[in-house]
Amino acid sequence: MPSDLAIGIHDLSFRTTGLVLSHTELARCNGTDIAKYHQGIGQRAMSLPTADEDIVTMAAAAAAPLVERHGTDRIRTVVLATESSVDQSKAAGIYVHSLLGMEPHVRVVEMKQACYSATAALQFAAGLVHRDPQEQVLVIASDISRYDLDSPGEATQGAAAAAMLVSADPALLELTRPSGLFTADVMDFWRPNYRTTALVNGKESIAAYLEAVEGAWKDYQRRGGLPLEEFRAFCYHQPYTRMAFKAHRQLLETCGAQADEETLDHALAATTGYNETVGNSYTASMYLALAALLDDADDLTEQTVGLFSYGSGSVAEFFAGRVRAGYKAHLRGEAHREAIGSRRAVDYGTYRELREQTLPTDGGWYELPHETRGPYRLAALRDHQRVYEAA
């Protein structure tokens, strides 16, 4: 096969949940100065799931437009990346495979490493396509982030799924080599199996993220990566959008480059539009940043974009992509904006009630209320089994 084979993201789609809590409402009820949310962390709202929405329903909703446009004949692998898994054994992607009506001759796996694993899935997919350029891989990142009520992390909660079709001769973004990698054993953020909410050491998390930015970039440079001035924009994992600005400042200072606000805005401003109103979607976060950049930036044809993926604990990767000619004809900006704009706003009291609800764990038969406006829903729990259906 040709060594110069172009492989990358052929199509990109994301969806979020049906409910939204504004940070204005959150601040009004918990006594926080709204500037702490709007300017301090760069967040304006957070997506919340209805009772019948979860990572599977979001993942299927995000992937359905890709299947509708391209079909499934060439898809031989589905990889779902998440840290909000619904089962310790069965891959959530198998439910998605069923909801989308895909043929049985497909491998389906789930990947986990905090917020990083969608990038591992993307690289796995690129390797499979390189081995067989006729094959396409469906990569889905889907997460719902939850923190303890009244905790510092509460304002960064969110939910979304991003689906990518990885192929040869991609329409949107060609992945380029090399990658810069960095791993360190730190306890900045973690969620033991017995907890439904994550534990966070805030200061340690910021420090670990910034250390990973510097470490991954230096490895990228050691392996022959492009110089800083070759990049038009940078997409970072955004646990909150201002973290991307902290990260890029760290990268610029590492390179000995100017790190003023104008420089930061030029590189990042177009990447935050979706994340600032969806909240932290963990594995999907960086790919919502990429979607925002492609949907909203001026013409990026043949421009190089830097991508930094971080997962607490920690694993990070810096890599690059070249935007393909004609990419604008394949974008889904209108659908993305509709997904965000169609959410139903809830007040603080309703939000608290939703957070206090939990699914039964006794193995009984329970029908869930039909609340989602999305195309798929979690319909029931029966004998410890989740039952999904088209809505």
Residue 4 has pLDDT above 90, yes or no: no
- The answer to the question of whether 193 is labelled as a binding residue is no
Surface-to-core class of residue 229, CB atoms within 10 Å of its CB (0-12 exposed, 13-18 middle, 19+ buried): exposed
Residue 177 lies in a domain: yes
Assess if residue 73 is contained within a domain.
yes
Question: Quick one: pLDDT band at residue 98, thresholds 50, 70, 90?
Answer: very high
Per the domain annotation, does 122 fall within a domain?
yes
The CATH code of the domain that includes 344 is: 3.40.47.10
Average pLDDT on 101-125 reads: 98
- Is the confidence at residue 2, as pLDDT, over 60? no
**Catalytic residue list:** 83, 115, 237
How far apart (Å, rounded) are the C-alpha atoms in residues 210 and 221?
A: 17
Residue 1 lies in a domain: no
Cα torsion angle, 368, 58, 82, 213, sign: negative
Domains in the chain, number:
1
* Domain-located, residue 2: no
Q: Residue 315 above 80 pLDDT? A: yes
Q: Is the pLDDT of residue 152 over 70?
A: yes
Residue 319 scores a pLDDT above 70? yes
Look at residue 17 and tell me if it is in a domain.
Answer: yes
Give the global pTM.
0.97
Q: Is 147 annotated as a binding residue?
A: yes
3 confidence band (pLDDT: 50, 70, 90): low
Query: Does residue 173 surpass a pLDDT of 90?
Result: yes
Is residue 227 situated within a structural domain? yes
Asked if residue 258 belongs to a domain, the reply is yes
* Structural domain boundaries enclosing 136: 7-390
- pLDDT tens digits, 206-226: 999 999 999 999 999 999 999
Partners of residue 118 on adjacent β-strands: none
The rounded distance, in Å, linking the Cα atoms of 23 and 147 is: 15
